Structures are given as C-alpha cells and as structure tokens.
Structure 1
Amino acid sequence: MDIKLKNIKNNKFVKITIFLLAVALSTSCLSIFAYLNKHTNSSFEAIYEEDYLQSDSFRSTFTDLTYDLERLLKYYKNEEYIKNSGTIDNKIKDSTNDYCTYSWELNNKYSNFKDNFYRSRSIEYDSVSEEEIITLFEKKYTNEIQMYKNKYIDKELNNYYKSLKQINGIDGLYYHMSSGEYEHSNVTNSAKEFFKSQPVYVLFDDKGYDTLPQLEYIYTYHCLQSLSYYPQDVMYAALSNEFLNPIITKWNNDRNMLTTGFAIISILLLFFIICMFYLIYTAGKHGIDNKIHLLAIDKLYVDVNIIASMCIICPSFIFAFESFDELGYKFFIPLSVLLSIVAINLILSIIKHIKNRTIFSHNLIYKLLSLIFIFIKRNLRNLLNSFPIAFKMLPTPKKANDLRNIIKGVDYIKNGDLDYSIITKSKGIYGTLASDINNISDGLKAAVQNELKSERLKTELITNVSHDIRTPLTSIITYVDILKKEGLDSKDAQKYLDVLDLKALRLKTLTDDLFEVSKASSGNIPVDFDKVDITELLKQVMGELSKKIESSGLDFKFNYPKEKVFILGDGKLLWRVIENLMGNVFKYALNNSRVYIDILNLKNHASVVIKNISAYELNMDTNELMERFKRGDESRSSEGSGLGLSIAKNLVELQNGQFHIKIDGDLFKATVTIPKYKEL
C-alpha cells in the first residue's frame, strides 16, 4: 500500500495534471478579478460597507460635486466677471514670480524683451525696476497683450459654460450659492428648509456648517475650507432621491457582484493552495530514491531566477490589467496562463534548492562573496610572506648596540626631550628605524610649537572679540544713560539716537560676520557649482561698488584676458569673496594709491589677483593676518571686523579653490584660484 501511494506521489502524469490544475485555478482567479475590476464602478472596499451614503464611493462623488460648485462660485463667479478679466487679475495677483501666468507665450515674450532690454543697454541685470520694464513692454505690445487676454478670457468662458452646463445637467442636484454680488442657483425656493428636506445636503452660511449624513471630512479636508474666510458666503447643496436611487441601486448590484466574485476567488484559492502543497511536497522527486533532481531551469542562480521572473511577471501583470478593456479575455487569459506558469515554476525552483540545501550556495551574490573571500585569503598569505623581515632584525654586536641606542633615545623622547637625536652605526633596518624615530621627534616638536602658537592666537582672538564687542556696547550703554538723564526732549537727543543706531548696526554686522564665518568654516553653506564667467562677474561686482570706488579716492586698474574665462564655481559665493576683498581694500588701502585687479588665465585654473598699498604698517606674517578678528590696523580703530579674509578663504575652499595672501612691505596681495570649467 505504501509503495502504491509513493508511486502515485512520484507519478509524472499526476504531477503534470496537478500543475496544470494549479495554472488553471490561478488564471481563473486573475480573470475573475479583472472581470470585477472592469464591470463594477465601486471600489473593492464596498464589500465591507453596508450603506452607500457611508461608502468611499459616495464620499468621492459628493466631494467632487461640492468642489465644482465652490469653483463656480469662488473662481468663475459669473460671465460678466470673466469678461471683465476677473480671473486674469486673480492669476496675476496670486503669482509671485512670473509677469503673466495666464499665457506662457506672453510670459516668454516678456522674458525675451527684458533680456534684450539689458543686453542692448549693456547695464547690470535688475538695475532697473520691474515696474518700469513692464510699462515699456505694455506700451510696445499693447495689441498683442489684449489679444492674449481675449484668448484666455474665451478659454475661461468656455470652461465656465461647460462647468455650468455639466452641473445643471445633473438630475436631482439642487444648489443655491451666493458670495457678495455673485449668485448661482437652480431652484426657485432657496430656503434652508427646502435643502434640509432632501436625503443628502450640505449647508454653509454665517450661522455655521451642517450636513446629512455627517460629512465633516468635506469641511476639514476639501473645498469648503476656503469659504470659512468669507462670512458673506452662502452655499446650500442637496441631492434628491432622483439622483441617489439609480446610483444606490448600481452600488448595491456592484457590491453583490463583488461579494460573490470574491467568494468564488476564495474557493479557487483554497484549491490552488492544496495543489501547491502537493507540488511543493513532490518538487524534485522523480523516483523511489530520496535525491532531489534539478531541471535545466533550476541551474540558473536562485537570485538571477527571481529577478528574471519578476521582470516578466510585474510588467506583464500591469499590462494585462491595463489592456483588459481594449483586448478582453482573448489576450488576458493567455497572458495570465504565462504568468501563472512562470510564477509557479519560480516557487518550485526555490523549493528544490531549499530541499537540496543549495539555496545560498547556488546564488550569484554568494559566488561573488566567495571570490572576494578567496582574494582576501590569498593576500593574507602575502602578509605572512613578510616574516623574513624578522630575520633581518636578529641582533649582532653592532646591531645590539644600535638597538640599545634606539631604546635609550625613545626613553628620552618619551620624557619630553624632543631635541634628542638617535645615532646608529649600522645602515640596515635599525638605522632606518632610528631615522624614522628622529623624524617623528621633529614632527612632535613642530606640533608642540604649532600648539603653542595656536594657544597664543586663541588668547588674541578672545581679546580681539572682547574689544570689538565691548567698544560699541560701551557706547550704547553710555548714550542710553545720557538719554535717561536728559530725556528724549533734549536738543541733542537725535544725535544720541544716531550714535546708538550706528553702534547697534556695528554690533549687528559683527554678529552677522561671526555667523557667516562659522557656517563657512563648518561647511554648512550649500555650493551650487555652475559655469561662471569670472571676467563678467568681476565687472558686475565693480559696477555694484561703483559709488564706493568713486568716493574712495583710489585709482583702480582692472586687467583681464580678451578671451572669456569660465570657471567651475558658485557665482553667489564668488561674489561674496570678491566683495569681501574689495571691502578690505576700501578699509585699509592708502589714500590716493593704485589698486590692481588682474585675472590670470592658467592651464587648469583661473586666478583673481588684487594688490593694494596698505595705509597701516603690516608688521605680521600672512598666517596671523588670516586669523579671525585679526586686522591690519592693530589699534582696531577702523570699522572692519577682522573676519573678511577668513570668510573669503573658507568660501573659496568650499569651491575646491585656493586662497593666498602675500605681504611685501606695505604691499598687500590677495590671490583667489578656482578650477576652470571643462566642457563634457
């Protein structure tokens, strides 16, 4: 009896029959599901819903109706409003960026006009107010503007008529809406009681909000939120049985069809699961032996098999359901059969590898990891091959003496004597080791010196910050005290207020610079790399600072290549760098001296070099001058914060550039180097 049962389980004909039955059951489930999806308008959630008026389908329908009604009232208002450019005015009012939002063609025309306006006059962009340019544009293109307006008005009127016709064409929908002078209604009796007599309604006026059934989500989630800002708005909408009865009947029919369909699907799935249990149990078994036999398709790597099957199943499944309406069962059923065969074979192939205990070993990722492990293992052997170096360290009398000197030297250096130098007689491994230790000692000595210098600079930083903050703060306290004593009616009150304003602005500038240098040094400033014409950028900066240049009494000499020089950087950050360097020139350059600004076109980089004669004696090295709050004016009587060069340096480095300064007597030279832009 056991042998007969085993023969039945391993019988190839039985396996094929069960496999085809599983494919047929899977195809039937997919086909019924597709049929329900096509022939029912209700969502599948209707199975769990008892009443149409509490269903998702009703919520969606009523929400759309209230949205259309509110748009008719609040956006279109009426025919006269649209003809008088009301919707156009609202478009322009709501827009913050574009000149003309109602016509992209007109907006493009304006953008081209604006670009040509600045290009033809060779003036800085945005140096003329937007209102002036718009006035010139409207004067030149009066007829075209009116044409585009009329075109948009015609479009809005068509939409208005279409929307009004669509709403008025709905049998059983009653509404009455008003907002100030605008009113829409399809009933003669606009009393609230009339709408309340209907089975479904939503009422909104200055007395509040009321619905039947309870539809709070319409108020909180959808269109009626905008009505709450206008107490004069009234919106009454109701649905009668004439509207509801056909829909409720169709919804109930759909619900019954869905319930029956899913019951059939559940039964089919149960039989499908039974078939799959049998196929899984017998997967890989061909005879009375207990070995697992793999087919040709099973020789594919498990992960490759899964990915390939998913690439077939997912797109085919989506395409089948999307194309069901056009192609029907003639196309859907064969494709469902194919999907079922591929999916079942994939499952059975995975089961075979699990039974064969090759689910991990017969895996492409596992193979790759194994190769990586073998590679690491082989390199480990190479490390082991380095042991012969130990032979070289075997001590001879000379090497033993060198080893003693090394141990003695390490002890001296460990105890802080960084000037101690280890001397060895041999030139082998011990000589190299001694030389390396001496180099480490030199590095430690340099590190200690740098640390001492850093501590000194920190002390100076604290002193300078305290001085720069205390100076304006002391003035503010002093003048506030004077104003308290003399009162605001004093004849000098305005003068005191001016001083207070000046000192407060000084404090604000100082704190702003502190915040900016903190962001720049920590790398928290976003960098937008782009193609930048460095010559044009410098010209724009010079144009922006033209008034300061004229009033400074300095003679600026600007030299740049004839060809365009493009760099890869952030235009806004580079603008800030050049602005800081120019500010440095205005504050510290000697009166009536020359300032040289040169652009150098190098092979892979472009450099901006700014040179000026300092009005103050520069008796410090360049590293100190780059420190925060360090000024060329050591008396700290000038208006600078001492942060400009530090900010500039950090901003340049954020753009993969270099920033250097050089002092030669009273000559101050700053160089900004940025990589050039390379065309792909």
Structure 2
Amino acid sequence: MATKSKKSKLYQTGWKVCAACILFIMALVIFFCGVVFSSITKNWGRSILTEENFYDTVELRNLFFSALDEAVLADVYYESEAKIQSGEKVDREALLAGFKRYYNIIDGVITGNTEINDTYDGLIVYGVIPERLEDKFIEYEELVETRLPQYRQMYIQDQLDEYREAVRYLEGLTNFYYFVEDEQGRVIAGNATRAEVSSKSHTIMLSAEFSSDNLSDKSYYAYSNAYVENSNYRVYAAVDEPLREGDDFYDLYQEFVLAKTSMPYLFVVSTVAFLLFMICLVYLIRVAGQKTKGGQVKYLLVDRIYNEIHFLLVALFGIFSFFMALTLLEFILYRGMPFWSYVFLTLLGILYIADVAVGLSYVLSLSRQIKGKILARNTLVSVFLRKIASLFTGATFRGWMLLVMLAYGVGNCFLVFMICMYFNSSLVLLFFGLLIAFNIFCLYLFLRALRSLKRIMISARETSKGNLTYQLDLAEISPSFLNFAEDIANIQDGLKNAVEEAVKGERMKTELITNVSHDLKTPLTSIVTYVDLLKQQKLDNPVARDYVDVLQVKSYRLKQLIEDLIEASKVSSGNVAVEKMRIDYRQLTMQAIGEMEEKIEEAKLEFRLSCPEPVFIEADGRHMWRILENMLSNVIKYSMVGSRVYIDIFQTEEHGILVMKNISAAPIDFDATRLTERFVRGDSSRTTEGSGLGLSIAQSLAEVQGGTFGIQVDGDLFKAIVSMQLWRNDPSEEEEQDDEMEEESVEETKDETGMMEMEECSSEEQEEMQTDEEEQKP
C-alpha cells in the first residue's frame, strides 16, 4: 500500500509543477554557464583551455607586440620631439594625400601639370593650364599657399600627440623592458640596459637583417615592423617574470589566473545542472498526461495538432531562434556596446527559455500520444489514408461517386483502347457495340440515381413544410444515395417524435391548469357568496368587519387569478373562438379608459390619447377589449404616481397600431421580453396586485387574431405596442356592419338591464334566506 501511494504521489500536479520549475531553473543555470564560458573564450580563445603557462598564451604575445609597436614608433621612427617639430618626420605623400582628402581636391589636369614645392607654400607649374581651367587653377593655387601650411602644422601636431602618447604608455609599463641601438652598437633609447634585457627569460630582438624570438616556447606568428626594417637600428625587448603590479601585463595575468581557476567550477556546475535537467525531463515525460500509473491519458489542446505540422512549427521556431541568437551574439561579443550588451543578453535569455518551453511542450505531446497510442493516427499521412479508405468502403456518397466515376472512366478507356487496337479488324464492330451498350447502361444508372435524388428532395421539401407523415420508400433509392435517404428518413422520425412529445406535454400542461382551475372555481364561488352574505350581516365587532373586508378583497383577487389561468390556458391551446368584425380602434380605447376611470384617478395618472383620424381594424371585439383592459391594468399598477400615460393610435398601409407609453415606478433592470411570459411581473418583490398573466394573455389574444403584441423599454419608459390588420371591406359592408353593431349594443343594453333585475331579485332572496335563518335560531 505504501509503495502504491508513493507511486500515485509522483503523478500529482504539485510534483509535476515542481519538476517543471526545477527544469527551467537548471536551463537558466546552463544558459548562464554558457554566457560566462563564451565571455572567457572571447577574451582568451583556446589558450584558456590548452595553455597552462601564461607566457605561452597568444594574448600575452599580442600585448607584448603592442608595447613593442609603441617603442618602435617613439624611438625608431620619431626618435625625438625636436625632429618632429622641425618637420623632418613629415611623410610628403601622406601629408599631400591627407590635404587633398581634407579639402576634397580631385587629381586632374591642374594637379598633373603642377607640383607643390618643398616648403609647402606654393606651386611649380610644368605644363600649360587651359584657359577654361584658369579660375580653378587660381583657386587651387590660393588654397595651397594659404591652407597647406596650416594643414602641415596640424599634421606635425598629430605626430607630436602620437609620440607623446606612446612615451606615456611606455612609461606606465613596469614589466616591459627594451632598448634601441644603432649599427655601431650604441644604445640610443630605451628604458633598460643591455644587461637587464639579457637577464630576462622572455626576450625578442629585431633588426633589418634578422630577428630572434625567445618570448615563449610556442611557435606563434612572428613580429614584423616596417619602421625597423627600413632603418639601421636593432631593438631588444623583454617581459619580466614574475610580473609586478602596476601595468597591463599584470592585469592580463590576473585575468588569466581567474579564468583558469573558474573553468573547473564552471564545468562542474554546468554538468550538475545538465544532469538535473535530464532527470526532470525524463520524469515529466514519464508522468505526462496521467494522474495515476497506467491511468487514462488526458490530452491537451496542443495534442490536436497533426504531428507533421507540429514538428514543422517547432523546427521553424528553432531556425528563427538560431539566426536571432547569432545576431544577438554578434552585438554582444563584437559591437562593444556595454548597455546594449546587457539588453541583448536579456533578450537572448528570453529566447533561450522560449526554446526550452517549445521543445518541452513538443516532447511531452509526443509522450502523451505514445501513451494513448494515437501517435501514428495523429498524422496527416494517417488521416489521408483513412480518408482514401473511407471512399472505397461504399459507406459514403463520395465513395460511391468515386467508384462509379473510376469504373466509367476505366470502362470507356478500355473499350476505346480495344477499338484502336482492332481498328482494321472485324472485331472493331463488336467493341464499338460494347462501347455504346456500356454508355447506355451507365446513362440508365445515372438517370436512376437522379430519380432517387428527386425523391429525396421531395421528401425534404415535404418535411420543411411540416408534413411529417410523408414516407420515403428506401427500396426505390439507388445505393449511391441510400445513406442520404436514410438520414432524411431519420430526421423525419425524429421531428415527428419531438412534435408529438411537445404536443403531448403542452396538452397535459393545459389540461392540468384547466382542471385545477375548475376544481378551485367551484369552492371559491361559495366562498365569495358567503363573504358577501357576511358583509350584509350587522357585525358589531369592527375587527370582524375588517376581516370580512380582507376576505372579500382576497377572494375576488383569487377569483380573478383563476379566471386568468383558465383564459390563458384556452388561448395558449387555441381553444378560443375568433369572430372578426369592423372595430373603431379609437372608440374602443376611449371606452376602456372610461370603464377604468376610478382606478386611474386613484393612481393619480393623466391619460393623453392621440388619434388624428378614426382607425378601423379587423378584430374580435371581446378579445380586443380584454387586451386593452390588461394593458390599462398593467399601466395603473406599475406607473409612477402623478405621471402621464400617452396612447398613440395610427395606421400604416396594412395595420392599425396602438402604442401605450408610461413611466415605470420601479427600475426595469431585467430583460423586458420576459414580461410577456406567464407569471412574470414587473414587481420582483410581488407586493402589488396581479397574477403575471395579463400581458401574456394580451399577446396570445393578439396573435390569435392575426396581430402582434410587443414591448419596448428605454430606461424607465415602458412601451406596449399592439398591431392589428386594417379593415379592408367595401363601404356597403361597412354600413351593414355599423347597423349590426348598433343592434348588438341595443341587445347588450337589454341584457344588462335584465341582469340588474336578476341581481335585485337575488338580493331579495338572500335577505329572505337570512331572515329564515334568524328565525330558526333558538
């Protein structure tokens, strides 16, 4: 058990993250070791690795030769300041070339026919100057006479500066010894005697005839100097051993010692970092994609990339990184810009870490694919082969088409080839007849396939029209389109089952609401009746009277809710009768406002109706009345107290439109389209009266009549829009419709009168029943 637990811990995410962090840290250590090693090899080259003695390094020889160059320049070429100031060391060719370059003088006819004199202040003319160049000649002559002496003094001053700089450099060297002697062997310059130089182990002697190099035991390049070769002087030089502090030789020696002692430590650190890097890499490869040993492999998004493309992307990034690293290294090692060297070194480190991350991601992706056994499948070659195989299985339309086209092409090519082969033989007629018969047979199969496709298209068209009973005969479908036809048939079956389930669920829901509403309505009627009887009794207790008032209000509200439920159920199920007639939209709206005038005054609302001209719509009067009643009721409940309500009625080419606008008392901070859903109210706390069915019923009644009901919200401005079809009958029919409406209004008045009489009779009967009950009391 302990072993198993230990193995499972190795697959935990924490261990993986820790190993990845160590891997990147070791990668950085290797990078910094490489940077240090590159810096050392840049300064010392192979000498730091191959040489154990400082005096055998190329760097010492280069520094020694630099010091020797300064000694030759100061004591062999210039010799002294007096000779420089006298102009004796002026190089005529170098002086004149620099003068012409400084003043942009180009050699030509004038310079070819003239020569500058030895005193550098005039011209000597040898030839004839053309008249067209006379002005140029005068300008050149003036330049030589006035500017050349000044330039000569500048040239001499540069030589003096160079001489003095060489002398100062030689004076600062404590480990470099030299002297110069003439052809008679007399010492004419130097900082050491012949005996001091001869006593040193590392010496060199230069002259025009021969040279002697005892600077080190290694055979490096020989020293040469044109000034020595063109003179009669001999130069002897040596370097001290051991070196003393105070000059460049000692500083170079200290750098050599530091670099030499650092190399073993650098090798050990880089080796350990590399081993830890490889251990972490092997561990991550082992646990990649798994949480337990042998568990299910979890793939990442990068694993979905085809392996060829993945490899190509990694290779391109590697090539880009390689050339970018070369560019950065060139700036770091050879451009000599300290600040930018640090910047480019940082960029190089970032690029290196990015390479490590990309390479690690690629290796771990391969590990996960190998564990999941999808390495071969996740390749473009594998996908291509599977696609080709699927084309020849006959399971797809493309496969059948490819097979048919191949068979048709091969068959025709074969028959045409045979016709060409036996063109001069009697068999040509046989093959020609076979060619015609083969093409007729293929044409028959093609027409049969087109007929099958036509049947499938008809089936799809019938399905789109909602005719789910149409049956597609699969026996008449060709094999090429058989899978296609089966898919269409399955879609038809699925849609049919879905529609049946939806209709069944809607029917059950409607029946449930209707049955529950009817079951509640019967006892509620009795409750309402007895509450009315209680209000007619003489109750002395004021608290009891208040309770009766509350019962009356709540019972009537419950009655209204049940009626709304029944009506909503009927409308949603389509179980409502629609008798369309000619209706005056404006007149109907005004009547609805008048009916609810008391409630409007209680809500302290002011209605503004705008209808420039009568608008006649084709709708059911009872349903339109209920729509307006629900809309007005909604406005009264949820409008801001003391605000105005605007009603605009107008018509378009085909519709009569009513827009009712009011300011909501509460902020509308939800989706306004949900207000037309059942039981959804604008008051989320549900403290106001209402069932949440009014707008839903209004929308359903508008749609039943062929109209639309919509809601728009702009901040707290609430708009309800009802659009109905305009009345399009001729004038005679309109007059008849007006007469019928007048007759119906008369009948409704009579009915209302009769109802009032019946209510009076029922009240008298109730009083008689109450009297009988009182008499029966003991």
TM-score range, shorter chain: 0.3 to 0.5
TM-score (normalised: structure 1):
0.42
TM-score, normalised with respect to structure 2: 0.37
Question: Per chain length, whose mean CA-contact separation is higher, i.e. which structure has more relative contact order (CA < 8 Å, sep 6+)?
Answer: 1
